[in-house]
């Protein structure tokens, strides 16, 4: 029991909740056009939630996963062809997360097709397994499989070589941001860059005693992102012709500044002192369900006429009200579905794993 509490520190679990609160709000705003309209009552909220909210939150989650994967000291259980090391723990995590994703996908198809019909082609209703808000899933599955090998690689890298590799991958990442073409391989570059950066900071002892610096850096990145995006969005100079391009660079999925902000935020929370909170840890255990169910629940809101491209024209108070209503209800649905999953599906998965894999 003590080991579990130590592994699940409440400061990190609180961070999970705060990060996951930003992501669904961002997507409900995105699907309803708040970000894409030139100016509307909710433009400012949209800039804050995107530029200094959901995008850094994505990279903060990646940094969090990278950090705890780095702490995994498991060794290879066997070798494929006598050469390639096989890590049973990473394979187990891969199938466990795959089972979770497929289960939530089945729910998504059943709910949205029941509401909108089989032939509906709305963006968040279609049959693509990892499209839209689920972009995170594919590279995360790759990270689960590859992290033991990345751990071994980073151990062997001298700091100067490690830093040089970070610079090289950063150059590729900046180029991807400039082109701004979203895709699986580009997402993988982002995951790899965060992993290398987190492992480098840990190697230099950056996960201890630098909380103030990470806090200042996080705030500085946030102010820069929000301030610049506000200037571009609200000003009326010739720069406005290039405004969309600038906004995509700063608030898009591959924003370098947002990535740095996310990593800094994680290391700041990592060093916070917070007593164990059962409620915080309990709710944090359902954050992945929130992520995987947000599209499904948004479809319900859409069917009820409360998520139908009208958010742009809402007053700020109405936007905040319906945004919070969506967020709170998404967490509630995630807890209900999560409890059912843990009671019925997870034990079945555990039995299949034990009977089919661990007893080989």
3-state class (DSSP) for residue 204: coil
For residue 99, the enclosing domain spans: 2-358
Rounded to whole angstroms, the Cα distance separating 224 from 250 reads: 9
Q: What is the CA radius of gyration of the chain?
A: 21
| Tens-digit pLDDT profile for residues 261-309 | 999 999 999 999 899 999 999 999 999 999 999 988 988 888 888 777 7
Q: Is residue 234 a contact partner of residue 47, using CB atoms and an 8 Å limit?
A: no
Structure token digits, residue 76: 């290879």
Number of domains within the chain: 1
Give the rounded distance of the alpha carbon of 308 from its chain centre: 25
Residue 149, classed as helix, strand or coil, is helix
CA atoms of 254 and 350, how far apart (whole Å): 36
Tell me how far apart the alpha carbons of residues 78 and 121 are, in angstroms, rounded to a whole number. 46
Residues of the chain whose pLDDT is less than 50? 1-5, 123, 237-240, 359-360
pLDDT tens digits for range 327-360: 999 999 999 999 999 999 999 888 887 665 654 4
Name every residue whose Cβ is closer than 8 Å to that of residue 68 and which is 6 or more positions away in sequence.
Answer: none
Instruction: At 185, list the tokens.
Output: 């391989």
The residue whose two tokens read 């049973």 is 88
- Three-state DSSP at 260 gives helix
For residue 78, count CB atoms less than 10 angstroms from its CB and return exposed for 0-12, middle for 13-18, buried for 19 or more: exposed
The size of the chain, in residues, is: 360
353 CB-side CA count, 13 A: 18
Angle at alpha carbon of residue 94, lines to 90 and 98, rounded to 5°: 170
**95 near 356, Cβ under 8 Å?**
no
Q: Return the pLDDT at 1.
A: 30
């Amino acid at each position: 029991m003590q080991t579990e509490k130590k592994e699940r520190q409440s400061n990190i679990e609180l961070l999970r909740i705060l990060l996951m609160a930003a992501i669904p709000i961002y997507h409900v705003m995105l699907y309803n056009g708040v970000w894409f309209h030139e100016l509307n009552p909710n433009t400012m909220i949209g800039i804050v939630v995107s530029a200094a909210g959901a995008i850094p939150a994505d990279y903060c989650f990646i940094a969090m996963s990278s950090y705890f994967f780095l702490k995994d000291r498991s060794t290879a259980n066997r070798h494929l062809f006598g050469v390639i090391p096989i890590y049973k723990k990473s394979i187990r995590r891969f199938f466990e997360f795959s089972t979770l994703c497929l289960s939530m996908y089945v729910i998504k198809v059943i709910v949205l097709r029941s509401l909108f019909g089989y032939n509906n082609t709305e963006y968040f209703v279609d049959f693509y397994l990892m499209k839209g808000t689920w972009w995170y899933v594919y590279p995360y599955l790759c990270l689960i499989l590859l992290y033991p090998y990345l751990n071994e690689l980073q151990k062997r890298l001298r700091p100067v070589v490690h830093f040089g590799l970070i610079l090289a991958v950063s150059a590729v990442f900046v180029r991807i941001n400039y082109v701004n073409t979203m895709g699986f391989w580009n997402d993988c570059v982002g995951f790899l860059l965060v992993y290398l950066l987190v492992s480098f900071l840990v190697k230099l002892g950056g996960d201890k005693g630098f909380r103030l610096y990470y806090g200042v850096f996080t705030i500085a990145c946030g102010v820069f992102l929000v301030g610049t995006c506000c200037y571009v969005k609200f000003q009326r100079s010739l720069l406005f012709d290039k405004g969309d391009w600038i906004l995509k660079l700063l608030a898009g999925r591959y924003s370098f500044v947002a990535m740095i902000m996310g990593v800094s935020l994680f290391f700041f929370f990592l060093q916070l002192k917070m007593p164990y909170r059962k409620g915080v840890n309990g709710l944090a255990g359902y954050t992945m369900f929130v992520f995987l169910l947000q599209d499904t629940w948004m479809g319900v809101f859409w069917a009820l006429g409360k998520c139908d491209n009208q958010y742009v024209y809402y007053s700020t108070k109405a936007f905040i009200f319906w945004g919070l209503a969506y967020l709170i209800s998404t967490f509630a649905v995630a807890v209900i579905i999560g409890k059912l999953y843990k009671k019925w599906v997870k034990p079945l998965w555990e039995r299949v794993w034990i009977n089919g894999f661990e007893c080989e």
